[in-house]
Amino acid sequence: MTNVLASRSFRGPAADESIEAVHNHLDSLWLDVPFVGDMDQMTFTTAVIESASNIVQHAEPVGQDPVELGVDIEVQPALLQARVSAYNAKPPFGPMIPGSPDEDAESGRGLALIEALVTTVTFERQDGTNTWVLTRTSQHD
Partner 1 sequence: MEFSYEVKDSYAEVKADGRLNMVSAPKLREFVTDVIAGGSNRIVVNLENTAFMDSSGLGALIGCLKAARQAGGDLRIAAVQPQVKMVLQLTSMDKVLTSYGSADEAFSND
Note the residues at the interface with partner 1 (CB under 8 A): 16, 19-20, 23, 38, 42-43, 45-46, 49-50, 53, 56-57, 103-107, 109-110, 112-113, 116-117
Give the amino acid at 23. Answer: H
Q: At its nearest, how many Å lie between partner 1 and the CB of residue 31?
A: 15
Give the amino acid at 99. Answer: G
Rank residues 77 and 120 by Cβ distance to partner 1 and give the closer one.
Answer: 120
Cα 96 from Cα 112, distance rounded (Å) = 10
* Sign (positive or negative) of CA dihedral 56, 58, 64, 67: negative
Rank residues 30 and 76 by Cβ distance to partner 1 and give the closer one.
Answer: 30
Q: At its nearest, how many Å lie between partner 1 and the CB of residue 20?
A: 7
